[in-house]
Structure 1
Amino acid sequence: MRVWALFFTCLYFNIYGQRYTSTWYNIDNGLPQSSAKAIVKDKYGFIWIATENGIVRYDGSSFITFNSFKINNLHFGEFIGDPSQDSITVLNDFQENKVIIKNRFPKLTKLHSSDKITFTTGNEFLHRVANNILACNFYNDVQYFVRLKNSTYSFTEKNSIVYKDHKGRETKISIPFSNKDLNNMFVFNEVLFINDMKNRKTYSIDNGKVSVYEGPSLFNDPNTRVYWQQITNQTFIINHNNIYIVVGNEKKLDLKFLVEYDEIGSHSYCSMFYGWKFNKLYLGTLNNGLNVLKLSDFYVAKKKEDFSNNVYYASLPMSKKTIIAEDGTEFGRDGIVKKYPLGNNDNYLMMYDKAGNILIRKRSSVIKFYKDSGYKRKDSTFIKHGFQAFLQSGSLYGASFSDSSKSQLQIFKEDTFSKPDYTYEFDSFVNTFFQYRENEILVGNSDGLYSAVLGSKTVTPIHKNIHVKSIIRTKDNLIWVMTNKSGFYLLRDRKLIKMPTDRNNHLMSAHYILEDRNGFYWISSNNGLFKVPKKQLLQYAQNRKNPVYYYRFTKRDGFLTNEFNGSSQPNAYALENGDFVFPSMDGFVFFNPDHVRTFYPDKDKIFIERVKIGNSETEYFHDRLNLENNYKTAEIFIDIPYYSNLENLYLEAKIAGKENSEWEPVTTGKELKYTISNLDPGEYTLSVRILLSPDGKFEQKSIKFKIKPLFYQTLVFRVSASIIILVIIIVIVQLMTNFLRIKNRVLKQIVHNKNSELKETSLNLEVVKSDLRKETEYQKKLVETISHDITTPIRFIAMLSQKLHESDDLELQKKYFDSIYKSSEQLYQFTLNLKEYTELYKAENIFEEEKYLINRILEIKKKLFCEIAKERGTTIINAAESNVYSQVNESILTAIIHNILDNAVKNTFDGEIHLNTAENNQNITITISDTGTGMPDEQINMYMSLFRNPKLETPSFKGKGLGLHMVIHLVKKINAEISFRHNQPQGTIVELMLNKN
């Protein structure tokens, strides 16, 4: 009983309207399946989620799914084990398999009978209770038990609980109890708690000893739902949409209010986990995925009526914890406190006069609301046309005026705005003024900052070409100048020192600065609220090389908009109760700077152990990474459990080794990774450092990696290759010399024999001359033919070689190497058949003994010209689908197709060339069509006339049209037909008809 006296007298409920932001994750954005049946955090800071399609690791930004286990059942349930001992286990459905999560990696392990949660002994069906989820069902015909570290509680029968200690001694505990009461049971710090909702009692059982509290509480409220998970030692109490977490110890149990969440009953929630450090509540469902609630320490006060205008600029402190807007609405952190009848006024400027009356501008007048009337009585003072703003700084008041060409600033020692004491003229628009000294003011204009001495007409420019919005003196007596799109400045010794902006340049439009009591500045901007150590800005002012680390708060932290508002007058305040308040485009943002947390990674929770090489799957390594020389790219992942805005991670990396780099930022996207590419073989060290605190402390971690050299990049290979090449050159020279000597002797013998033959008979002289003339003509044709056929591929290879020489782009070089290789290979295959060219003109037999496949010739020629055509933007398409065979001399047919396709490639740019075959009973038709420039009618007629001229047996191959002249001669030689015609809309179609008979 004394335990409960302490427990419930010290119970507190810190209930207030804490805001939150909700983010859902499901199969569409990270999870492998839309269930989150259990949630646990390991000792390394990673969150693990059990789903119906594997186990998921979450680091705050990305999900890694593990479902490649060699099992068929990937439906996993609740987690059990001890995260502090790096041992988390989970079973799949029907308890078929067991997975253990250890050292940040899950693996399949052997399942023992003691691992099972549900089993039978004799005729009894036993089930271990390791959590109490919101949808639990407990049945009377099942015996349940709870296993603690050194003891066990068994719920054997109605009104009976058996406690068994570590020595096996049993103690029977008699309390009113049935299995349905297990829905209201939880364990906290090894103490069992059971709530009796009907009788409004709560029982605690510690090592078998029972204590009872006979009184109502949230624990035994009939409207309370309990969620408990043993592995996390977390218990949640849900009552009327309010979610609490059990804190304290077994002798002093407290409830900490987390959030009022109206949708807690709208989804099939089955798992809960609260992350203390990052102030996040994780809610898992059976069918909608994971819901992450970011609990906020910011409060937005706004009008909630339909069509309300919640865009605020000016305001004034009204009490220790409230402010008043220009429309008379008094706001506190929880919303509207009171309404004053101030009416509709300009919302940009308002201030108190010396008597505490509120002054608000309305067009060209100043409206005064009297404090002694509760701001109900008012009067209006017309100033004059062109009146823009009234201002106040120190003991001085000001009013600005403007027309189409000039602006004027009037300074008053009193706040009547009647007769000015000093007047200054400017060419630019006056935004604000600031009393710098007793007799000196600073004037902020749309074109710069100026200094003016009271009583003198002298105006001195301090800084030009900036649009000054406001001038602020913080409580540390420093003066800050806020500008529009030029950042903010520190004024020191009459000089402006520009402060560095944040990484994304959101502070280029900064509005206002407040200093808290812990040495931090809070700066509102057009895109977020920033927190920065004051000493970093001052150190930067001394030495521009000192870094400044801003921490940015956004809508994710509880705002309704990232856009705050500024004004020429103070519009952000430090209230007497310690709250700060800033105006925004959607309400006023209240917060206590002492309570708003900033989040940084733990120094011992930075892991570099995963790599993705090229397009392969992610691999794990330990301490050292070995990369093959052909790795192309290697993405090294930096795993950091960080559950806040990644924009506030300051993560940098560098490489040291054969090549060195300076510290460079690591892009913070969904995955944190550093990409390695284009490094020469050698030993390297990758160093990563991350900011751990706002004072600039970094933690550094390094790994070593090696890029292996290819065999030809080693020194041994280079020396050996040089020797081998030298030997080969010497051997080739010697062989060529011997060959030429032998050939010379053979030629001398031939000449001798010819001379002998000539001497022996003069009758054969004419025959010999004729034979020599034919042989000379044949050799000439042969040389011309070979030269013609290989000119295009060799020219293409030469062109690519020149581009390769001129290019430094490795990817482009690879492309050129590939094209040269393919063209050279096909040219090599072509030259292997050069011997066949010797038969083209002297071949007597125009038919082969066996049939051969024409499609094969088309494919070979397509490959030869493919790269050349590709360089011209042309595609060669072999459309021949059925196999067509022929017995026409293969060498002659190959030469004909080669030359026709060569002409098509030469004359086609950014087009297509089609190859096709067809056959009937008498003929085989080979068609080569292109979409190139096409042949003129005169040229077509010339070649067709050349073909039809039976007397032209040996045409001249010199000059234009060498290839087609040769083609026509060879077509006639094999008794075939050829035709040329225009392709539509452009190009040429060449048809070659072979006679089957």
Structure 2
Amino acid sequence: MIRTILISCLILLLPEMLFSQADAGFTIRRYSTENGLPSNGIKGVEWDESSGFLWMATEAGVVRFNGQEFKSYTRLNMPGIATERMAYIIRNNEGNIFTADMGGNLLKSAGNQLQFSYNIPAAKTGNRGLFRAALMTSEDFFRETMLHPKILKHDLAGGTFMPDNPRSFYYILRDSLYYYHAGDEDLTLLHSSPLRIKSGFKIGDESFIMAPDNQVYRLKNAGHDLEAIPTVWPSGHPGTAGKNFRLFWESGMPHPVLVNENNAWIFKLNNGVIQADLICNQIPLDAFIYHLQYSEKRGILFLGTDSKGLVVISKNNLRNFKYENAGINQRNAYYSQVELPNGNVLTNEGHELGDAPKGQNKLPITGGFGFTIFLQGDSILWYPAYNKIIKMSSLFSYNYKTGITTGFPSIIMRSSSAITAIGKETAVCNSIGIGYVSGDSLAYQYRFPPGSGDPSFYDMKQGPDGMVYLAGCAGFLRYDPKLKKLDTLFREENFCVRTISFRDNYILIGTYGNGFYIWKNGILKPMPLDKNKYLLYTHCFFDDQLGYCWISTNRGLFKVRFTDLLTAWEKNTGFVFYQYFGKNDGMEMTEMNGGCTPCALRLKNGNISFPTMDGLIQVDPKKHKTDSLGSAIYFDELIAGKKTFAADSSAIRKLPSNTSEVLVRLAFPAWGNMENIYVEYELNGSGEWITAETEDGSLLRLSGLRHGDYIVKIRKAIGFGTENYSYAEFHFGITTPWYNQWWFYLLTFLAAFSLFALFIHLRTERYRKNQLKLEKQIAEKTWELSQQNDALEKSNSLKSKLISIISHDIVTPLKFLTVAGNNLREKRSQIPEELQQETIREIANTSQELQLLSTNILNWIKYQHENRRLAKESFIPAETVNQVFGVLLSIAKQKNISLVNTVDPTIEIYQYYEPLKILVYNLVLNAINFSERGAVTVSAKAEETVLQLQVKDDGVGMTPEQVHNILSEQIIISSANIDKRKGNGLGYLIIKDLVKTTGSSLAIQSEKGKGTTVTITIPVLKPVKNDSGA
């Protein structure tokens, strides 16, 4: 693809490769190493008419050329080539093309491919002249000569070979003619002095020689008899005049070509006479022509030079006409045209163009004229031109019969006004409306309403139905001259309608920028465009009266068969073959002009003249060939990834399994315009033909491929007609990846089944474990709920008892305080002093007991709150004990009880500070409360992770039953007894709760009448700090 792009760029950039000869009507293209040819030294050229390829032997391998792209065969891509220096290339009498390298390897062309055929051993090099002559004659003769080689006395290294029949040939050397038949020991001399042989050639199956006097003789009776044949030259001018002419003929050529200076003639045998037909008059003289081939079917001449590459000369299909005196003050862009009596054309710029002598006829129009002219009947020519009287453009008429020009100064004409005949009336459409020429003015039949849009009109014609159809920027309009009614049939915003044309019941409508349409019976359909969409800008439809429509555009000229267009309209087909004409056909300026009437002109000689931006283009529709596109189409190679495979390689049937895209390169002749190459492909019989979206149509990109076998069908349009295609078929395959093999599917199924079974097993096991876990959790929760229920029942019972005790222990002392206080107040004088003092002491003691009871109740309630959040902290227990002693010291003094703190002040622990403080408070308070004398001692013993805190008193002590009740879950709570201090008191209920809160344990050692020792073992999360080492 890159090579193709580079070649295309070189075609545009190198002026020496392509230039047009407008006068002679030939286009000459030069190819060298600068634009794709691998070597400038051409060793041989052979044209294959059946395939449409030109084969060349060069000093850099064999080259195949299709008119657009070179394909080289070298040692890199052709195993049969030992050296790129080729010896020769020939086409034998059977039409087969062979080429040989300097190493004796012989290859044969087969359609688009080159195949290795034979190898001539080095020991037989002395016979290579005979081998070559036999090969020119027939392949069987060559094989026979290879099997039974002969050493001839004559050296066949030089001279000219002419095959006579499949087993014999003529040989011309040093003015003598020889003959050889298979099996002969040597050559047979036929003719020599005094008859000297200058050259020899064949026309069809007959052999001829040319004498030094240029007389041609036909060889008869195996060359023993000679028959003089006259040669007829065009215009009586012999091409053999002078000494510089050369006769080119090689085996396989149907006709010889004689070249003399710039001219080339082809020899044909006609009724016993050689007819010399001039085929070219522009042969370049700047290079030595080594080989020559001519395609009469395509009209192409191929010249192989010894050092300047390849020259391709083709006859132009079109002729350019330009104003000879053009300059900076002259326009060379033309629009409307008028044919003059001598066959020349008068353009709207007033320029006379054509082959006839200029200035010998009276011109119907002097000077320039407008874009719209109309010939009414056979004598009246209507046109707009500059009116000197009014100093603006107005309507004029010229009468061919009288030669009188009439001006209509009252009828102002714009450049985009239209003129036609409506019945017998001359009608003009301008920005005001549609009017008939009446006298020296217009009688308007219809006036455009104000604000009706752009008033530009480019075409106006009366149809077979009597209606008048208009083309302009307002759209496609229809005017009824009887009803004087105007209808808009079609309008596309921002696109002007430029031209209309009638064909039976169809109306062709061309727009500027939006393609063209066909209207029939009220139905409008857009028509398929060419592949490059040049037809978006349609200037003109012209019927050549041979069944074809010629369409001019901004980018060249098209030819299409009318029946193809109408079939596309009727059957809604998406493809129409348009034959394109451009620079390769001799067109120097491809931008053609429209928006004028007439948009093209039929000349008396049958040619059609089209206006362009640079002169006129004329085409002869009768002489133009429509069968030169070529029908051959081949598969060249397949590219998969980074590998390239020949089309006949067996490897393409088993491409790697990871192949998802392949490129298929096609080969086909393309000697004209690439715009005429329409290639489509179908994959695996899908019925869907896909256009090859490539620059030159020769590369197909097949994407999204999966494993399997593929059949690619290709079709190439080869001319007009709905089914005029050439077809080719190509097979390739992509191997099935291992993960798509049957055994992989089986393994996958087994693995999936095993995984599924394992999944079911694991899931079942999981469900079983979850069930066991759930049962365990349910049992645990059930136990916890049972425990909580028991605890709640105990708590409720405890709270009920507590409430009754609190009610008794608070209300009774309060009643006592009330009664005692009232008695002291009311009967103080009657009560002895000693009794008063005792009563006051009892009041004070009762009040103090109420205070302590209230404090304990509040603390107990506070730590019963489950949501209370506690934070542990580091503190010194000795300081905590001192703080508690400070609160209870007054109570102890009243009872003459001493408080002793023996806790080591160096001990520091990490625990709940506040609960531990209250715990010590209650233990000391209980000890004071149940003691009448002695001391309350607090001590501590530090271990690694616990602290043993002891509170010892000398009080009343407890019985084992009381100790058991305190430590048991069922706590017997009795109220404080003022007189006897009986019962356990509320303190131990709080103590036990705080012991649980701090995670501690409680131990009580007591004996009735000897005091009590309470030990609290407190866990600490951090090691106990003891600076003294205790």
Report the TM-score range of the alignment, normalised by the length of the smaller protein: 0.5 to 0.7
State which of 393, 411, 415 in structure 2 corresponds to 1:364.
Answer: 393
Using the TM superposition, give the Cα deviation of residue 411 of structure 1 relative to its aligned residue in structure 2, in angstroms: 1.8
- 1:116 aligns with 129
Q: Residues 539 and 725 from structure 1, CA distance in 2 versus in 1: closer, same or farther, beyond 3 angstroms?
A: closer
- 1:485 aligns with 513
Using the TM superposition, give the Cα deviation of residue 439 of structure 1 relative to its aligned residue in structure 2, in angstroms: 6.9
Whole-Å Cα distance in 1 between the matches of residues 568 and 80 of structure 2? 57
Whole-Å Cα distance in 1 between the matches of residues 216 and 95 of structure 2? 32
User: Are 2:101 and 1:92 aligned?
Assistant: yes
State which of 367, 374, 377 in structure 2 corresponds to 1:351.
Answer: 374
The residue correspondences of 1:109-258 to structure 2 (distance < 5 A) are 109-111=118-120, 112-113=124-125, 114-116=127-129, 125-130=155-160, 149-155=166-172, 160-163=176-179, 170=188, 172-174=190-192, 176-177=194-195, 182=198, 184-196=199-211, 199=213, 201-206=215-220, 207-208=222-223, 209-212=225-228, 218=238, 220-222=240-242, 223-248=244-269, 251-258=272-279
Q: Residues 214 and 500 from structure 1, CA distance in 2 versus in 1: closer, same or farther, beyond 3 angstroms?
A: closer
State which of 715, 731, 735 in structure 2 corresponds to 1:704.
Answer: 731
State which of 452, 455, 476 in structure 2 corresponds to 1:449.
Answer: 476
- 1:397 aligns with 426
Post-superposition Cα deviations, 1:547-577, rounded to whole Å, max 9, x if no partner, equal 4222222221221122221234223133343
TM-score, normalised by the number of residues in structure 2: 0.60
User: Are 2:538 and 1:510 aligned?
Assistant: yes
Q: Residues 701 and 439 from structure 1, CA distance in 2 versus in 1: closer, same or farther, beyond 3 angstroms?
A: closer
Post-superposition Cα deviations, 1:264-314, rounded to whole Å, max 9, x if no partner, equal 211222222122333222222222222222322322222233425331110
- 2:488 aligns with 461
Using the TM superposition, give the Cα deviation of residue 156 of structure 1 relative to its aligned residue in structure 2, in angstroms: 6.2
Whole-Å Cα distance in 2 between the matches of residues 303 and 535 of structure 1? 37
Tell me if structure 2 keeps the 8 A contact 1:601–1:642: yes
Using the TM superposition, give the Cα deviation of residue 546 of structure 1 relative to its aligned residue in structure 2, in angstroms: 5.9
- 1:135 aligns with none
User: Are 2:330 and 1:317 aligned?
Assistant: no
Tell me if structure 1 keeps the 8 A contact 2:334–2:613: yes
Whole-Å Cα distance in 2 between the matches of residues 526 and 44 of structure 1? 33
Whole-Å Cα distance in 1 between the matches of residues 546 and 401 of structure 2? 38
Secondary structure at the aligned position of 1:717 is classed as helix
Using the TM superposition, give the Cα deviation of residue 55 of structure 1 relative to its aligned residue in structure 2, in angstroms: 0.4
- 2:669 aligns with 641
Post-superposition Cα deviations, 1:153-183, rounded to whole Å, max 9, x if no partner, equal 445666x5444567869464256455xx63x
Using the TM superposition, give the Cα deviation of residue 334 of structure 1 relative to its aligned residue in structure 2, in angstroms: 7.8
Using the TM superposition, give the Cα deviation of residue 452 of structure 1 relative to its aligned residue in structure 2, in angstroms: 3.1
Q: Residues 321 and 696 from structure 1, CA distance in 2 versus in 1: closer, same or farther, beyond 3 angstroms?
A: farther
TM-score, normalised by the number of residues in structure 1: 0.62
User: Are 2:425 and 1:418 aligned?
Assistant: no
Secondary structure at the aligned position of 1:434 is classed as strand
Aligned letter for 1:204?
A: R
Q: Residues 337 and 640 from structure 1, CA distance in 2 versus in 1: closer, same or farther, beyond 3 angstroms?
A: farther
Whole-Å Cα distance in 2 between the matches of residues 729 and 480 of structure 1? 70
Tell me if structure 2 keeps the 8 A contact 1:629–1:710: yes
Post-superposition Cα deviations, 1:28-65, rounded to whole Å, max 9, x if no partner, equal 33322123332113454432111111001123332221
Q: Residues 471 and 276 from structure 1, CA distance in 2 versus in 1: closer, same or farther, beyond 3 angstroms?
A: same
Using the TM superposition, give the Cα deviation of residue 130 of structure 1 relative to its aligned residue in structure 2, in angstroms: 4.4
Aligned letter for 1:238?
A: V
Whole-Å Cα distance in 1 between the matches of residues 574 and 217 of structure 2? 60
Q: Residues 55 and 455 from structure 1, CA distance in 2 versus in 1: closer, same or farther, beyond 3 angstroms?
A: closer
Tell me if structure 2 keeps the 8 A contact 1:312–1:585: yes
Between the two proteins, what is the percent identity of the paired residues? 20
The residue correspondences of 1:226-625 to structure 2 (distance < 5 A) are 226-248=247-269, 251-261=272-282, 263-307=283-327, 309-319=331-341, 321-332=343-354, 342-352=365-375, 355-357=379-381, 359-362=383-386, 363-368=392-397, 371=400, 378=405, 380-383=407-410, 387-388=414-415, 389=417, 391-394=419-422, 395-401=424-430, 407-412=431-436, 417-426=440-449, 427-428=452-453, 429-431=455-457, 432-436=459-463, 440-454=467-481, 458-465=485-492, 467-474=495-502, 476=504, 478-545=506-573, 547-599=575-627, 605-608=632-635, 610-621=637-648, 625=653
Post-superposition Cα deviations, 1:415-440, rounded to whole Å, max 9, x if no partner, equal x5524252422523140433347874
Whole-Å Cα distance in 1 between the matches of residues 326 and 658 of structure 2? 64
Tell me if structure 1 keeps the 8 A contact 2:380–2:397: no
Q: Residues 663 and 390 from structure 1, CA distance in 2 versus in 1: closer, same or farther, beyond 3 angstroms?
A: closer
Using the TM superposition, give the Cα deviation of residue 728 of structure 1 relative to its aligned residue in structure 2, in angstroms: 9.8
- 1:28 aligns with 34
Secondary structure at the aligned position of 2:448 is classed as strand
Tell me if structure 2 keeps the 8 A contact 1:398–1:409: no
State which of 711, 715, 719 in structure 2 corresponds to 1:689.
Answer: 715
Aligned letter for 2:191?
A: I
Whole-Å Cα distance in 2 between the matches of residues 124 and 653 of structure 1? 56
Tell me if structure 1 keeps the 8 A contact 2:456–2:474: no
Aligned letter for 1:607?
A: Y
Tell me if structure 2 keeps the 8 A contact 1:601–1:640: no
Using the TM superposition, give the Cα deviation of residue 520 of structure 1 relative to its aligned residue in structure 2, in angstroms: 1.8
Aligned letter for 2:702?
A: I
Using the TM superposition, give the Cα deviation of residue 380 of structure 1 relative to its aligned residue in structure 2, in angstroms: 4.3
- 1:39 aligns with 45
- Which runs of 5 or more structure 1 residues have no equivalent in the other structure? 1-15, 132-144, 402-406, 738-997
The residue correspondences of 1:785-804 to structure 2 (distance < 5 A) are none
Aligned letter for 1:501?
A: L
State which of 691, 701, 705 in structure 2 corresponds to 1:665.
Answer: 691
Using the TM superposition, give the Cα deviation of residue 187 of structure 1 relative to its aligned residue in structure 2, in angstroms: 3.3
Q: Residues 273 and 190 from structure 1, CA distance in 2 versus in 1: closer, same or farther, beyond 3 angstroms?
A: same
Secondary structure at the aligned position of 1:720 is classed as helix
State which of 68, 72, 89 in structure 2 corresponds to 1:61.
Answer: 68
State which of 88, 92, 105 in structure 2 corresponds to 1:78.
Answer: 88
- Which runs of 5 or more structure 2 residues have no equivalent in the other structure? 1-21, 134-149, 387-391, 766-1030
Tell me if structure 1 keeps the 8 A contact 2:164–2:207: no
Post-superposition Cα deviations, 1:313-371, rounded to whole Å, max 9, x if no partner, equal 10123348543323444444689685656443245233345644564422423455564
Aligned letter for 1:231?
A: G
Aligned letter for 1:211?
A: E
Using the TM superposition, give the Cα deviation of residue 710 of structure 1 relative to its aligned residue in structure 2, in angstroms: 2.0
Aligned letter for 1:243?
A: A
Tell me if structure 2 keeps the 8 A contact 1:66–1:106: no
Whole-Å Cα distance in 1 between the matches of residues 413 and 205 of structure 2? 76
Moved more, 696-705 or 551-560: 696-705
Tell me if structure 2 keeps the 8 A contact 1:471–1:482: yes
Using the TM superposition, give the Cα deviation of residue 125 of structure 1 relative to its aligned residue in structure 2, in angstroms: 4.2
Whole-Å Cα distance in 2 between the matches of residues 29 and 319 of structure 1? 47
Tell me if structure 1 keeps the 8 A contact 2:679–2:692: yes
Which protein has the larger Cα radius of gyration, Structure 1 or Structure 2? 2
Whole-Å Cα distance in 2 between the matches of residues 280 and 200 of structure 1? 26
